[in-house]
Amino acid sequence: MSNCGIIWLKETQLVTEVCDRMKQILKELYKCLKMSLQGNFGEVYSGRLRSDNTPVAVKSCKENLAPEHKSKFLMEARILKQYNHPNIVKLIGVCTQKQPIYIIMELVSGGDFLSFLRTEGHSLTPKMLVKMTENVAAGMEYLEIKKCIHRDLAARNCLVAERNVVKISDFGMSRERDDGVYSAEGGLRQIPVKWTAPEALNYGRYTTQSDVWSFGILLWETFSMGMTPYTSMNNQQTRDEVEKGYRMPAPHGCPMEISRVMNNCWQYDPKNRPTFRKIRAELNAIHNKIT
C-alpha cells in the first residue's frame, strides 16, 4: 500500500490524480460513471478507467459506518488483492486515505448469477448450466488451495461475465486461515441460514467443507432456475428439518449425476463431503458426457 492510501494492482496514469484530488475521485478516476445499485455498505457505481477504458465497478463505504463495519468492507479487498483466477472477480484498486472509502473492481457485465438464472435460465441447456457451475467449482478449488473460506457462497454472490463465464464475488465474509478453520462468534445475525452448513450454524465452525455444503445449495439454485431453497420453510424450520436428515429433492429436469453431486455436498459429517477438486472434476466429466 502506498502512502496515499491506494493499493494498485496494475499500472495506470490515474494514481497521481487520485492522490491529489480524492474529493473528485468519481470525476477524475472514471468516465461515464453512474450508480448501479445500493450495496450493503454504500452505493455501487459503474464506469470506465480513463487510462485504458477498462469497465469497472466502484463500491463505496458510507462515511457514518462504525469502524468495525468499515473494516468488514475492506476485508474483501484484503482477500482479493492476493488472487488471480479467471473465475474470481478481480480487484483493481482501493482508495482509503480520505472518506468515503472506495473499492475498485472489474465490472462483470452480466450481473449476478441468481438474477441471470431467473431471467435467462430457461433459455440455457443443461450442458450450459453444468459448465457455469463448473466455473464456480474451479474458483472454489483455487480458494481451497489458498486456504480461503468464502462463508457466503450462493448464486447471488457470483457474477456472470461474457460467454456465460461465472466469477465468484462478495468476499466480505471470507477468511484466510493456515489451518483452514474459522470459528465465528456473535449468533446467527446476518447468517444466510439456508446456505450454511449445520456445523457452522450449530458451532460457528467454518471450513472449506462448509463451503462445499453451500455449493450444493448453489447447484440446486442453478437447476431450479433461481428458486429460493427450502421454499416453503423459514430459517428455523430449515435448520430443524436438515438436522432430522431432510435434503431437498433435485429440481425438475436436473440430471441425475448433478443430483448425486448435490447430495454428496450435503453429507452431515463434513469429512464425508467431497473436495472442490473432486467436484470440479466430476462436473467436467458430466459436462463432457451431456450432448
Question: Tell me: domain 113-289, CATH 3.40.640.10, correct?
Answer: no
CA separation for the pair 169, 39 (Å, rounded) = 13
Contact between 167 and 111 under an 8 Å Cβ cutoff? The reply is no
- Please state the domain extents for the chain: 6-106, 113-289
Options 152, 211, 240, 269, the catalytic residue: 152
Binding positions are 156-157, 170
pLDDT score at 77? 82
Q: Do domains 6-106 and 113-289 have the same CATH topology?
A: no
Q: Which amino acid is at 48?
A: R
pLDDT in tens, 119-169: 999 999 999 999 999 999 999 999 999 999 999 999 999 999 999 999 999
pLDDT score at 191? 86
CATH T-level assignment (fold) for domain 6-106: Phosphorylase Kinase; domain 1 (3.30.200)
pLDDT score at 96? 72
Task: Read off the C-alpha cell for 223.
Answer: 437447476
pLDDT score at 76? 78
DSSP string, 83-131: ---TTBPPEEEEE-SSSSEEEEEEPPTT-BHHHHHHHHGGGS-HHHHHH
- Coil, strand or helix at 56: strand
Task: Read off the C-alpha cell for 80.
Answer: 482479493
Binding positions for ATP are 156
Cβ neighbours of residue 42 under 8 Å, at least 6 residues apart?
A: 59, 60, 61, 62, 65, 100
pLDDT score at 240? 98
pLDDT score at 177? 57
Count of CB atoms within 10 A of residue 16's CB?
11
pLDDT score at 254? 97
Q: How many residues can be counted in the chain?
A: 291
Determine whether 152 is an active site residue: yes
Question: What parts of the chain have a pLDDT lower than 50?
Answer: 1-35, 179-180, 182-183, 187-188
The reported pTM is 0.83
Binding positions for Mg(2+) are 157, 170
Residue 167 CA, distance from chain mean position = 8
